[in-house]
């Protein structure tokens, strides 16, 4: 072959255009089936893939930083430890507000390493005549501790069950509030936002409390409200302690303006209150305060703290239009469109009255001797 011939073949390769030869049949049944399946696939892509699942978006996980600040003061008057004012540095442990904070609700102080015992404050339930009226180990929800089983003199005329001294902060802790500041980022989309939204002003923030209906964007939460939303009774939970999860959901569609990306709060109990498959139920820990009475002798007060730990758990995915997932999802669906032809061909060649006629024109059979013959004679 000469160069001219070679060039012409090359050109033919580059610019010659090959297209399928098509057989057009005028069968309304197959045609309607074909259009129906095509329509269903396109509708699925448009509605489900694009609209519901937003498969055209690239996604990124949230990066978060949280700071918390609890507010509220308590005055306790216990016969064991005297009048005592509890403020944030004492009942929030550790005092520094990170994404997990613990609020003390019940304390067993072990003064000089010995647990103190005292008569219960008189009430219908705690009054007694003899030891048999008191049940050892029993702890009343609104009582001050665990009964020792003994009936002791409360005043000159009244006897109550003796309890191991608990300082119950539960009744007041319910009214404490916590300010949660949350800063999130989606680094892939260079998106940053705070849970204190732009349109909220300082005056509103100073007085608001979160309420799902009236104040859904207020970042100040009443402890009692959170526990109630988690389906628990604060006073019951306060007795033995527990863990409440404060979930902040930052799922966002960043194709919409930034102002639509707002946090959704929810609350649920994280520890197991079911005693069946459980060990060490509730939430408590012991810590010590150290004192030196003189140069050499160190004493300490050991405190068993029961309370509610609040875990602020931030999660979420942001999506934004990206060409790669779009192409992948459209491309995959296009493949299915080519399947439609296979289905319709099968219907046409199997179920139709004129199937032999269609087959005769659709297929050109080539024998080994080079003649083209129809499949069905």
Rounded distance, CA 139 to CA 237, Å? 13
109 has which bridge partners? 303
Nearest to 121 by CA among 62, 170, 184, 163: 163
The verdict on 14 binding a copy of itself (CB under 8 A) reads yes
Which range of residues in 18-26, 142-150, 154-162, 225-233 is near a copy of itself by CB under 8 A? 18-26
Q: Are 110 and 304 in contact, with CB atoms under 8 Å apart?
A: yes
Listed residue (262, 249, 252) closest to 197, CA to CA: 262
Does residue 88 belong to the site contacting a copy of itself (CB under 8 A)?
Answer: yes
Unique residue bearing structure tokens 């790669």: 324
| 190 sits near a copy of itself (criterion: CB under 8 A) | no
What would the DSSP string read from start to end of 61-75? E-EEEEEEEEE--EE
Residues 6+ apart with CB under 8 A from 157: none
71 is in an annotated binding site: yes
- 183 is an interface residue for a copy of itself by CB under 8 A: yes
Q: Identify which of residues 236 and 313 has a Cβ nearer to a copy of itself in the complex.
A: 313
129 scored as a contact of a copy of itself (CB under 8 A): no
Pick from 231, 279, 350, 377: which binds a copy of itself (CB under 8 A)?
A: 279
SS3 of 292, please?
Answer: strand
Pick from 67, 115, 177, 228 the residue near a copy of itself by CB under 8 A.
Answer: 67
Q: With contact defined as beta carbons under 8 Å apart, do 347 and 358 qualify?
A: no
Tell me: is residue 286 an annotated ligand-binding position. Answer: yes
Over its C-alpha atoms, the chain yields an Rg (Å, rounded) of 37
By CB under 8 A, residue 77 contacts a copy of itself = no
Q: How far is the CB of 345 from a copy of itself (least distance, A)?
A: 6
Binding to a copy of itself by residue 5, rule CB under 8 A?
Answer: no
CB of 204 to a copy of itself, least distance (A): 9
What's the CA gap between 254 and 316, in Å, rounded? Answer: 12
Q: Is 130 or 275 the residue whose CB approaches a copy of itself more closely?
A: 275
Is 178 known as a binding-site position?
A: no
Is 95 a residue that touches a copy of itself (CB under 8 A)? yes
Show binding-site residues for ATP.
69-71, 177, 284-286, 304
Show binding-site residues.
69-71, 177, 284-286, 304
């Amino acid at each position: 072959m000469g160069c001219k011939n070679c060039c012409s073949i090359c050109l033919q390769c580059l610019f010659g255009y090959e297209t399928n030869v098509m057989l057009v049949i005028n069968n309304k049944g197959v045609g309607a089936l074909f259009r129906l399946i095509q329509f269903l696939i396109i509708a699925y892509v448009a509605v489900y893939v694009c609209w519901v699942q937003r498969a055209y978006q690239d996604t990124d996980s949230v990066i978060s930083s949280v700071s918390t600040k609890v507010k509220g003061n308590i005055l306790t008057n216990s016969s064991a430890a005297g009048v005592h004012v509890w403020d944030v540095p004492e009942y929030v442990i550790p005092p520094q507000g990170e994404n997990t904070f613990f609020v003390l609700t019940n304390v067993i102080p072990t003064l000089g390493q010995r647990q103190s015992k005292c008569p219960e404050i008189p009430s219908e339930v705690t009054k007694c005549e003899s030891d048999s009226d008191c049940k050892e180990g029993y702890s009343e929800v609104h009582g001050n501790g665990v009964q020792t089983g003994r009936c002791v003199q409360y005043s000159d005329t009244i006897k109550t069950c003796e309890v191991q001294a608990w300082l119950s902060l539960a009744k007041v802790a319910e009214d404490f509030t916590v300010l949660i500041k949350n800063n999130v980022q989606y680094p892939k989309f260079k998106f940053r936002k705070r849970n204190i939204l732009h349109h909220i002003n300082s005056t509103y923030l100073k007085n608001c409390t979160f309420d799902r209906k009236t104040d859904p964007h207020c970042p100040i939460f009443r402890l009692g409200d959170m526990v109630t939303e988690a389906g628990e009774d604060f006073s019951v939970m306060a007795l033995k302690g527990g863990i409440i999860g404060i979930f902040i959901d930052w799922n966002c569609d960043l194709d919409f303006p930034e102002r639509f990306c707002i946090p959704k709060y929810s609350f649920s109990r994280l520890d197991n209150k079911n005693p069946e498959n459980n060990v060490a139920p509730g939430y408590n820990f012991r810590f010590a305060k150290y004192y030196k009475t003189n140069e050499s002798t160190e004493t300490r007060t050991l405190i068993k703290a029961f309370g509610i730990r609040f875990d602020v758990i931030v999660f979420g995915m942001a999506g934004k239009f990206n060409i790669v997932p779009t192409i992948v999802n459209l491309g995959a669906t296009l493949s299915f469109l080519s399947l439609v032809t296979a289905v319709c061909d099968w219907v046409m060649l199997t179920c139709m009255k004129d199937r032999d006629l269609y087959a005769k024109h659709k297929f050109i059979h080539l024998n080994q001797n080079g003649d083209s013959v129809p499949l069905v004679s």
